[in-house]
Amino acid sequence: MEYAVRGELVLRAEDLAKKLKLRPPAAPALPFDHVTYCNIGNPQSVGQRPVTFVRQALAAAVCPALIGLTPAGPTQSPRVFPPDVELRVRQVLHASHGVGAYSESRGLEIVRRRVADAIQKRDAGIACDPENVFLTNGASDAVKAMLSLIVRGTGDGVMIPIPQYPLYSASMTSMRGVQVGYYLDEDEGWSLSMAELQGRLEEARGRGVDVRAIVIINPGNPTGQVLTRQNMEDVIRFCEREGLVILADEVYQQNVYVKHKPFISFKKVVTDLHSKVELASFHSVSKGVLGECGLRGGYMEVVNMNQDVIELIYKVLSVSLCSNIVGQLAVDLMMTPPKPGEPSYELYNAEVTEIFESLRRKAMALSEGLNTFEGVSCNPSEGAMYLFPRITIPEAAIFAARERGMACPDVLYCVELLEATGICVVPGSGFGQREGTYHFRTTFLPPEDQISDVIEKMRTFHSSFMKKYSSTFQS
């Protein structure tokens, strides 16, 4: 099982970071003074500040004495937080046993009802049943739970986009299922071709694979593309014809940077088409503008699923009793933020707007910068937190990577980038790519005042890398 975003390259980066902290005065100097982690969508690890409203509510929930609630009952205490924060926390604590107690396996009912109301609002009034919402430890646990139900053995397959987020390939390997990859079209902005889907499906079935589901990541990871509504309708009709469950990874639904392609949920399009296709969609507090990765909060909504299947999902999640309660509260805060006129709204709106606009600016700056490098092409990011530039690697570098026992030449590129600049990215081979092409995935999460420095360090390294291995080959 491989998981590239936390693989050997990242371990090397962490080792270098420790050496920088502990380096004795006489030790050899490294060519950089800090490690820049662009390998994973972990915003707060690279400087993004938590949103005040979220942390105030969580603090009060974890320590109710801050809002005058004690085991002995309410007390008079100085007001620490705005009244809407206090009200929100009091409502949740009144409807639960606090953050130190288990909830039911689906998650706190009050949170699921609020999430369902928020989904209904997002989807322009389409009803959402709280009993079809499951609160989970991030979206990852929900994804793994669904895959564990779909993959019964070595003959079962799931269609997964290439490039893809390695959660899917790693989970399929651990479950001994078959990954049926379908390629996104890089030359067309990482678009999804229905002919490609049909061809890969027929090829897999010709090999005896029972293909049971398809994963759609929208907005894309690592590619950053956003699906059009027409593309989504085509996928739904395809799944109707072929009897496939849709697993819609929608964790970046708040990270859309282009106005001509707004985010539309698969739930909405399925409902608008009056389709009976089975759907599970996923969301997480780790992404969006909150970036609360460490809280491990997420949810899954299931649509058009038989009650027996819903009960099986409940059973699978019940094995872990429930997801963590702080993460559940974070989901509530993400889905039902302060409204205009409430005391926390102005600050909340200012903070999330600045985070979003900064992400949009950084995405544009980094993609434009990468496209000026020799032999590099990079589609702009329409959404999510990543860029997936295609790089040209000289023949001598391909040979050197082979000599060092590396699985793919892009690993050599990323290792040498790290050791020359302290910038940690992930080789494209960790996500999948067409044979003969090479990429790397980078986030655009470092602080905005550091992006120019990141670009120039990458540019200097890339020029040196190309010169080094081009001259080696010619000699």
Query: Cα–chain-centroid distance for residue 280?
Result: 16
Residue 47 to residue 375: CA distance in whole angstroms: 31
The Cα 254–Cα 356 span in angstroms is: 9
**pLDDT, position 45:** 82
Residue 207: beta bridge partners? none
Helix (H, G, I), strand (E, B) or coil at 122: helix
* Separation between Cα atoms, residue 111 and residue 384, nearest integer Å: 25
Q: What integer pLDDT is reported at residue 338 of this predicted model?
A: 95
Q: In the block, which residue shows the tokens 């009952």?
A: 73
CB neighbours of residue 401 within 10 Å: 20
pTM: 0.90
Longest CA span, the chain:
81
Instruction: Identify which of 313, 455, 288, 309 has the alpha carbon closest to the alpha carbon of residue 387.
Output: 455
- pLDDT, one tens digit for every residue, the chain (475 residues): 565 555 677 788 888 888 888 766 655 678 888 888 888 888 888 888 999 999 999 999 998 888 777 665 666 666 789 999 999 999 988 888 888 888 888 899 999 999 999 999 999 999 999 999 999 998 999 999 999 999 998 999 999 999 988 888 889 888 999 999 999 999 888 989 999 999 999 999 999 999 999 999 999 999 999 999 999 999 999 999 999 999 999 999 999 999 999 999 999 999 999 999 999 999 999 988 999 989 999 999 999 999 999 999 999 898 888 888 999 999 999 999 999 999 999 999 999 999 999 999 999 999 999 999 999 999 999 999 999 999 999 999 999 988 888 878 898 999 999 999 999 999 998 888 888 899 999 999 888 888 999 999 999 999 999 998 886 554 4
The CA-based dihedral angle spanning residues 40, 44, 47, 48, taken in that order and rounded to the nearest 10 degrees: 110
Q: What's domain 109-335's architecture?
A: 3-Layer(aba) Sandwich (3.40)
Please determine whether the domains at 4-48+348-474 and 109-335 fall in the same fold group of CATH. Answer: no
pLDDT of residue 246: 97
Give dist(CA 462, CA 316) in Å, integer. Answer: 47
Cβ atoms of residues 209 and 156 within 8 Å:
yes
Cα distance between residue 372 and residue 384, in whole Å: 22
Q: How far apart are CA 24 and CA 323, in angstroms?
A: 44
Q: Determine the pLDDT at residue 475.
A: 40
Q: Distance between CA atoms of 224 and 153, rounded to whole angstroms?
A: 32
pLDDT given at position 8: 73
CA distances from 400 to 220, 393, 407, 475 (A): 32, 11, 11, 14
Q: Are 128 and 301 in contact (CB under 8 A)?
A: yes
Question: Residue 255 and residue 288: Cα distance in Å, rounded?
Answer: 6
Paired tokens of 80: 């620490």
Residue 245: per-residue pLDDT: 97
**What phi and psi, each to the nearest 5 degrees, are found at residue 249?**
-85, 100
- Comparing CA positions, the residue from 375, 399, 378 lying closest to residue 463 is 375
For 111, phi then psi, to 5°, come to -70, -40
Q: What are phi and psi of 385, to 5 degrees?
A: -135, 20
pLDDT at 74: 66
Domain 4-48+348-474, CATH? 3.90.1150.10
Domain segments of the chain: what residues? Answer: 4-48+348-474, 109-335
Helices then strands (H, E): number in the chain?
15, 16
H or E element in which residue 449 lies: helix 448-474
